[in-house]
Every structure is written in structure tokens, then in C-alpha cells.
């Protein structure tokens, strides 16, 4: 019951944070001098196309770009009625993309769940790699296992994601026959879900997951190793060994559980970095996530598309962090319910 109360409390703070984030995002997308429509109008004026001008003016009024900024924000969020009544983000209207001349929802469409998929896969990859390697590196510290995993870890931290993507892409395709580009075969794009499509997506996910996850896994592994090493020096470990426990059993039963907390809590640091990485890697590898659309939208000052994508990315990380917080309380009853303070 207490857990439920905590979950609700945590959900509430997430919503509040999201509200602040929305103000921040709106401020950022309005930072550049001029907006897409006024640039368009200037361009049309210069070429003297009156019909286009009328359309631009219409769009400007339609999306309330002629109102003061704070009103634009309220309308965008759906707190205030626009030209067509309440129709903003919270009502499920994501706005209009001027660059693509289509509703934002239509453009992002499929890419949303693919973004989620890529990130979830990367997080799973991080845990699957970091957990065994971290334990191994700590249990066999100062041996070649430890040193080589540290070396790989450092290299993973130091290589820029996008370069790793390019290199793996190149060699993965050349020597292993891994598919290049995109998240699925072009044949399956827009096709309904089928076994073939799932297979194709899985095949295409190997390299991106690896690339996005590597630096996170390296950082996570080092932290787990450090935590575990701290625990291994404590007297209770000695006691366990002295009473004849096998090393493996002892390791899993006591120190690992102690070292595990930061491992779960860390997702709060991990997730923002992952989402960042996935945006970058998507651009390089041409994955159908929201990364490439974000870049196009930013370069052409497409107000609502940028805004929506930034909000979505923030929402993704906030939900992830919330889940990890609730999970942490579930795992460790010692943690106080009323807010965490590390």
C-alpha cells in the first residue's frame, strides 16, 4: 500500500517536472530569431507570390503565431483555447509541421515506438553486458580479465558513438553480412506486422543496440566493479569464506545484493545519455527513429515538430527514471518512501 502511495507521489512529481520541461522546451524552440512562417513570408514577398503569401498568413493565424509568446505556449499545450478551441498537446494534437506540410503526428507516427524499442533494447544490452562483466572484473580483480575489461570499457567511453557506428557499420556489413541502414528492410516499411518484419527489425537492431549501449555499459561496469570491490573488503565476506561457502554462492548471496542498489538507481543517469546517443546514432545510421526528424526540424526551424520531439524525448527519460525509482523501493525496503535524497 505504501508502495502504491509512493508510486502515485512519484508520478505526480513526474507530471510537475514535465510541465517545467514543457516551458523550457517552448522557450528553446522560440530562441532562434524569426520562425519558419515569417521566414517563409519574407521569401514569398521577395519572389512576389501572392497566393503563397495568403496561405502563410492563414497558417500564421491558424496556429496563433501572431499572439504573444505566453499565449502561444498555453495554446500549444492545450491550456487555452486556440482558433479551434482547446486543441494542444494534452488533447492529443501535436501541431503542424511546416517543413513537411503535414500534421506532426503523421510524420513521427511509426518512429515513436521504434525509438522506444531501440532505447529499451539498448538498456537491456547495458544490463546484460555490465552485470556479468562487472562481477567478473571485481571477483578476479588485478588479473587479465579485469585489465582487458577495463581497457575495453575505457575505449568504449572514449570513442564517439557516431564513429563507432560508422566503423561497425562498415566492417559489420563487410565481414559479418549485417544489414546496413534503417531499422528494417525497405520492403517491410509500412507493411503490417509479420514474423518476417520482426526478424528483419531484430537483424537491423544488432549494430545500433551495440553502439548506443557500449559507453553506458562501460560506465555501468566500472561502477559495479568499484562498488563490489568495496563490499568484498568487508569482514562479512571473510566470515562467509571462513565458514566454507563456495565463492560463487557467497558472491551472489551477499556482496552483490549490497552492490546492486546503485546499479538500479543508475538508470536515472543512464537513460538521458542513452536517448542522446540514440538520436545521434539514428542520424548516422539512418534509423527510422525520431533522431533524423529532429535534425531536419531543428535545421529548418520547424517549431511544432521540434517541440514535440523534444517533449517526447524528455518524457521517455522521465518515465524511465520514474520506473527505476519505484523499482528501487521495491528492491530495497530500507529506502525511505518520502522522496529520495542521494
Partner 1 sequence: MTQLPDGRYVDDAPFDADAGLTTPERADLDAPNALLVWRKFRRHKLGLISGAFLLLCYLLLPVAGFFAPYAPNDRHPDHQYKAPESIRLFHEGSFIGPYIYSVEEVLDMETYTYKYIPDTDTPLPLKFFCLGDQWQVFGLIPSNRHLFCSPTEDPIFLWGSDQLGRDVFSRILYGAQLSLTVGLIGISVSFFFGIGLGSIAGYFGGRIDWVIQRVIEILRSLPELPLWLALSAAVPSNWGPVAVFFIISIILGILDWPGMARAVRAKFLSLREEEFVRAAEMMGAPSGRVIRRHLIPNFSSHLIASATLSIPAMILGETALSFLGLGLRAPAVSWGVMLNDAQNLASIEIYPWLAIPMIPIIVVVLAFNFFGDGLRDSLDPYES
Q: State the cell numbers at 221.
A: 561496469
At its nearest, how many Å lie between partner 1 and the CB of residue 57?
25
Q: How many residues does the chain have?
A: 342
Residue 140 CB coordination number (10 Å): 12
- Residue 220 or 318: the one with the smaller Cβ distance to partner 1 is 318
The distance of closest approach from Cβ of residue 86 to partner 1 in the complex, given in angstroms and rounded to an integer, is 26
* Minimum CB distance to partner 1, residue 51 (Å): 28
- Give the footprint of partner 1 on residues 135-154 (CB under 8 A): 154
Whole-number Å distance between alpha carbons of 176 and 280: 24
Q: Is 268 one of the binding residues for partner 1 (CB under 8 A)?
A: yes
CB neighbour list of residue 150: distance below 8 Å, 6 or more residues apart: 137, 222
SS (H, E, C) 39-86: HHHHHHHHHCCHHHHHHHHHHHHHCCCCCCHHHHHHHHHCCCCECCEC
Q: Closest Cα to residue 126, out of 196, 217, 4?
A: 217
Alpha-carbon distance 121 to 321, whole Å? Answer: 16
Site string for partner 1, 153-172 (x = CB under 8 A): -xx-xxxxxxx--xx-xx--
- Of 52 and 262, nearer to partner 1 (C-beta) is 262
Residues 4-33 that bind partner 1 (CB under 8 A): 17, 20-21, 24, 28-29, 31-33
From 43-51, 130-138, 188-196, 316-324, give the range in contact with partner 1 by CB under 8 A.
316-324
272 in contact with partner 1 (CB under 8 A)? yes
To 5 degrees, how large is the angle CA 253–CA 258–CA 262? 135
Chain positions contacting partner 1, by CB under 8 A = 17, 20-21, 24, 28-29, 31-33, 154-155, 157-163, 166-167, 169-170, 180, 268-269, 271-273, 275-277, 279-280, 283-284, 294-295, 298-299, 301, 306, 309-310, 313-314, 317-318, 321
Amino acid at each position: 500500500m505504501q508502495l502504491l502511495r509512493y508510486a502515485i507521489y512519484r508520478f505526480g512529481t513526474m507530471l510537475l517536472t514535465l510541465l517545467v520541461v514543457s516551458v523550457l522546451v517552448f522557450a528553446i524552440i522560440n530562441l532562434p530569431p524569426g520562425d519558419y512562417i515569417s521566414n517563409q513570408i519574407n521569401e514569398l514577398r521577395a519572389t512576389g507570390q501572392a497566393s503563397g503569401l495568403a496561405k502563410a498568413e492563414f497558417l500564421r493565424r491558424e496556429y496563433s503565431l501572431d499572439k504573444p509568446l505566453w499565449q502561444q505556449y498555453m495554446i500549444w499545450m492545450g491550456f487555452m483555447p486556440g482558433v479551434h478551441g482547446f486543441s494542444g498537446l494534452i488533447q492529443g494534437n501535436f501541431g503542424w509541421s511546416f517543413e513537411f506540410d503535414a500534421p506532426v503526428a503523421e510524420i513521427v507516427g511509426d518512429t515513436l515506438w521504434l525509438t522506444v524499442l531501440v532505447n529499451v533494447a539498448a538498456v537491456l544490452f547495458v544490463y546484460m553486458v555490465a552485470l556479468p562483466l562487472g562481477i567478473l572484473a571485481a571477483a578476479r580483480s588485478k588479473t587479465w580479465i579485469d585489465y582487458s575489461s577495463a581497457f575495453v570499457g575505457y575505449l568504449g567511453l572514449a570513442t564517439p558513438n557516431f564513429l563507432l557506428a560508422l566503423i561497425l557499420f562498415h566492417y559489420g556489413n563487410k565481414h559479418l553480412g549485417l544489414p546496413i541502414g534503417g531499422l528494417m528492410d525497405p520492403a517491410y516499411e509500412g507493411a503490417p506486422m509479420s514474423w518476417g518484419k520482426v526478424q528483419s527489425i531484430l537483424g537491423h537492431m544488432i549494430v545500433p543496440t551495440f553502439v548506443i549501449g557500449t559507453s553506458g555499459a562501460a560506465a555501468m561496469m566500472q561502477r559495479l566493479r568499484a562498488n563490489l570491490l568495496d563490499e568484498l573488503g568487508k569482514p562479512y565476506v571473510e566470515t562467509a569464506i571462513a565458514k566454507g561457502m563456495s565463492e560463487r554462492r557467497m558472491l551472489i548471496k551477499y556482496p552483490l545484493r549490497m552492490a546492486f542498489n546503485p546499479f538500479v538507481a543508475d538508470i536515472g543517469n543512464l537513460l538521458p545519455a542513452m536517448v542522446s546517443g540514440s538520436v545521434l546514432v539514428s542520424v548516422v545510421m539512418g534509423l527510422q527513429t525520431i533522431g533524423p526528424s529532429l535534425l531536419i526540424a531543428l535545421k529548418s526551424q520547424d517549431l511544432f515538430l521540434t517541440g514535440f520531439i523534444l517533449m517526447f524525448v524528455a518524457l521517455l527519460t522521465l518515465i524511465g527514471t520514474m520506473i527505476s525509482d519505484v523499482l528501487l523501493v521495491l528492491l530495497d525496503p530500507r529506502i525511505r518512501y518520502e522522496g529520495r535524497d542521494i
